[in-house]
Amino acid sequence: MSTPTVIRPSEPSSGPVGPGGGPGGHGPGDGGSVRRPDGSSSGDGGSGRRPGSSPAGGGSTSPTVTGVELAVIARRELVSTPVGDLDTAVEVLERLNKLQVLGTFLQRGMEAMTSLRSSQFMILKAIECEVDHPRHIGRKVGMETGAVELTLVSLREKGLVTTRSDRGHVVAAALTDTGRAILTQAEAMQIRATDALLQRAEPSEVAEVLDLLDRAVESVHAIIGLRDADEDLAARTGATGSPLPGHGPTVC
């Protein structure tokens, strides 16, 4: 973000003083511009432009900023914002790191039982939710389209998906019966592991944790400008691809 220029009335002008006492050699009678309180100029240096019109050459003075650029600016602002409570921030990060390590152990257990890596699990889950094009799958799970295509080829070789190609690129994918069975098995393992953790806590504690997580997600959305429609599958189901607790239909 550009830093706005601050003009202090007490500071002398760095330019020459004209006969009429105006800055830059402009006097009351030589076509100089008079600055209004709202920042506009009455004479505009003799250019004849109306306030709000484009400069000579037809160019625009304020370039259009896209939504993606605004999101990048928001992230930069987040990184550059001074930390208000360093000790608490470090404590939160330590606990999140511990949870991530535990999630990695759970993921390794799932991989040992089903031979599914985390990225493969999320792609199968996206396909189950009727997202079949590699580009759309990538948006949903947070992967590049090329990486999704390579993973789909690997899943196809395992007999877990079928693919349709056009000009050498995968354009659609679907679960096979084997793939659906493996996905169900992986989800069941994740649910049992999550349920085992929840059984060690009081229902009120679980409700409090869920409320805190919901508010944390909302805060992150507000900070980085993420919309619900942009939320990828990993964010909706957990950092390790774990489905939400419950034995109902898949959450898409």
Where exactly are the structural domains of the chain? 109-237
Tens-place pLDDT, residues 53-99? 444 445 445 566 666 677 777 777 766 666 677 788 888 889 889 98
In a 3-state reduction of DSSP, which class is residue 162? strand
CB atoms within 10 A of CB 27: 13
pLDDT score for 62: 52
> Of 139 and 246, which is predicted with more confidence?
139
- Across 140-151, b (16+ Cβ under 10 Å) vs e yields bbebebeebbeb
Token code pair at residue 170 = 């995968």
The predicted model gives 171-176 an average pLDDT of 96
| 57, burial (CB in 10 Å: exposed 0-12, middle 13-18, buried 19+) | exposed
- At 90 the pLDDT is 87
DSSP readout, 72-110?
HHHHHHHHHSPPS-HHHHHHHHHHHHHHHHHHHHHHHHH
pLDDT of residue 78: 65
Q: What does the alpha-carbon distance between residue 122 and residue 101 come to, in Å, rounded to a whole number?
A: 19
Helix (H), strand (E) at residue 71: helix 67-80
CATH fold for the domain made of 109-237: Arc Repressor Mutant, subunit A (1.10.10)
Q: Which residues pair with 164 in a beta bridge?
A: 172
Residue 160 has pLDDT above 70, yes or no: yes
**36 pLDDT exceeds 70?**
no
What local confidence, expressed as pLDDT, does residue 73 receive? 75
Task: Quote the tokens at residue 213.
Answer: 């997580």
Other beta carbons less than 10 A from residue 170's beta carbon: 22
First and final C-alpha spacing in the chain: 37
CA dist 63 and 69 (Å) reads 12
Write the pLDDT tens digit of every residue in 203-228: 999 999 999 989 988 887 787 766 55
Residue 32 confidence (pLDDT) above 80:
no
Residue partners of 170: CB distance under 8 A and separation at least 6: 134, 149, 152, 153, 163, 164
Q: Which of 1-5, 174-178, 192-196, 210-214 shows the lowest mean pLDDT across its residues?
A: 1-5
Report the distance separating Cα 47 and Cα 176, nearest Å. Answer: 70
Name the average pLDDT for the chain.
73
The tokens of 146 are what?
């090329």
Q: Which two tokens stand for residue 98?
A: 């511990």
Confidence tier at 230 by pLDDT (50, 70, 90): low
pLDDT tens column, 116-158: 998 999 999 999 999 999 999 999 998 999 999 999 999 999 9
Judge whether residue 18 has pLDDT over 90. no
